[in-house]
């Protein structure tokens, strides 16, 4: 065995050391990708819709915060592009069990969940990651005694405080309900406490294949429009629940892509990428 082969990673020359795959590095990577996503058509359209719906002057809310909040919502929601899946687990309202499951994922599948969690766990995961990425004001909200979502509370200059419902699952919601749904009144809860619990340490190591999967999925999907991501969420969920086959979902995605004709390139790419994901079943090496 050569001296180089026998060397521990810390003893290797800087250019040959494997990059870390811990939570701190994931946060850094997500922040970098969020900056790039600020230029995407899907993000711009979503921000315009958001500020119009809540009558917020666009310059009174940091666009960079919105990008992070929306990116992580689409990633961590039930059947979002990080392949989390909702089911009854009877776990506490934190994300500890999700991280525990992720620790064992050595070969993520595009056709199966990376972790299974209940609504309060998904909402805690989302809130934890948003806080770690630097956006403020996200906490947990109980619209009913047996259901949990996240809420983003903003305090724009010159206007009253705003609470935005962030439904990390579709429980009690319709197919068109997504980020900012009005189906739940977040003001029925007197206070939204910002989620400050550190569910795992920055040094928590994510298996490299799963770490790479998370980042590739951001590249492939996060720039698409709200409508496209909602449609893909339902297709992905159908595959998880075996309502239809992966090939059926792929054909459906391509049909939706064709219906867009010359739509935004991020939407066209998202439908195409999803169809390829369904047909390959394995993690792609890079975004399209």
**CA dist list (Å): 1 to 4, 12, 231:** 8, 15, 53
Per-residue pLDDT reduced to its tens digit, 218-231: 999 999 999 999 99
Q: Where are the alpha helices (DSSP H) in 38-118?
A: 41-53, 63-76, 96-102
Cβ atoms of residues 75 and 215 within 8 Å: no
User: What is the per-residue pLDDT across 4-45, written as a single tens digit (0 to 9) for each?
Assistant: 333 345 555 555 556 899 999 999 999 999 999 999 999 999
pTM reported for the whole predicted model: 0.91
Phi-psi label, residue 180: left if phi above 0, alpha if psi -120 to 50, beta otherwise: left
CA distances from 169 to 78, 85, 263 (A): 5, 9, 28
CB atoms < 10 A from the CB of 215, how many?
17
Cross-sheet strand order for the sheet of 147-154: 138-144, 147-154, 162-166
Structure confidence at residue 247 (pLDDT): 97
Which residues of the chain, if any, have pLDDT below 50? Answer: 1-8, 284-288
């Amino acid at each position: 065995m050569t001296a180089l082969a026998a060397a521990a990673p810390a003893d290797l020359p800087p250019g040959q050391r494997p990059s870390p795959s811990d939570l701190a590095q994931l946060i850094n990577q997500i922040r970098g990708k969020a900056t790039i996503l600020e230029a995407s058509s899907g993000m711009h359209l979503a921000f315009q819709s958001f500020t119009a719906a809540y009558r917020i002057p666009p310059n009174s809310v940091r666009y960079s915060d919105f990008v992070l909040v929306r990116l992580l919502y689409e990633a961590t929601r039930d059947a979002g592009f990080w392949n989390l899946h909702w089911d009854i687990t009877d776990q506490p309202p934190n994300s500890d069990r999700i991280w525990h499951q992720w620790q064992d994922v050595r070969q993520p599948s595009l056709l199966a969940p990376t972790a299974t969690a209940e609504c309060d766990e998904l909402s805690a995961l989302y809130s934890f990651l948003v806080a770690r990425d630097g956006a403020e004001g996200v906490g947990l909200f109980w619209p009913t005694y047996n259901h949990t979502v996240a809420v983003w509370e903003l305090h724009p200059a010159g206007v009253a405080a705003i609470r935005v419902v962030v439904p990390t699952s579709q429980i009690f919601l319709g197919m068109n309900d997504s980020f900012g749904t009005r189906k739940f009144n977040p003001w029925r809860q007197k206070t939204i406490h910002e989620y400050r619990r550190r569910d795992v340490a920055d040094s928590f190591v994510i298996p490299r294949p799963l770490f790479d999967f998370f980042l590739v999925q951001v590249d492939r999907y996060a720039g698409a429009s709200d409508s496209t991501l909602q449609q893909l969420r339902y297709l992905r969920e159908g595959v998880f629940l075996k309502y239809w086959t992966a090939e059926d979902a792929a054909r459906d995605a391509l049909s939706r892509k064709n219906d867009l004709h010359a739509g935004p390139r991020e939407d066209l790419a998202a439908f195409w990428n999803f169809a390829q994901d369904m047909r390959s079943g394995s993690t792609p090496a890079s975004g399209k």
